[in-house]
Amino acid sequence: MKIDSINWNILRLLQKNARTSNAEIGRTVGITSPAVSERIKKMEDVGLILGYNTMVSPFEAQYQLKAIITLRAFMGKLKPFLEKVTTYDEVLNCYRITGNENIVMEVIIKNQKHLEKFIDQLIVYGETKTQIVLSHVVANNSIKSL
The per-residue pLDDT for range 13-54, each reduced to its tens digit, is 998 899 999 999 999 999 999 999 999 999 999 999 999 888
Q: What is the pLDDT of residue 59?
A: 80
- C-alpha 71: how far from chain center: 19
From residue 37, how far is each of 20, 26, 119 by CA, in Å?
A: 12, 9, 46
| Residues across the chain | 146
Distance CA 69, CA 99 (A): 14
Q: What is the pLDDT of residues 60-117, one digit of tens each?
A: 888 899 999 999 999 999 999 999 999 999 999 999 999 999 999 999 999 999 999 9
What letter does residue 141 receive in the DSSP assignment? Answer: P
Mean pLDDT of 121-135: 96
Domains of the chain (ranges; CATH) run: 5-45 (1.10.10.10), 65-132 (3.30.70.920)
Q: Name residue 73's amino acid.
A: A
Q: What is the dihedral of CA 76, 92, 132, 138, to 10 degrees?
A: 130
Distance CA 43, CA 10 (A): 10
Sign of the torsion formed by the C-alpha atoms of 71, 77, 81 and 82: positive
Distance CA 80, CA 121 (A): 13
119 band by pLDDT with thresholds 50, 70 and 90: very high
The upper half-sphere exposure of residue 22, i.e. CA atoms within 13 Å in the direction of its Cβ, equals: 11
Residue among 100, 98, 108 at smallest CA distance from 128: 100
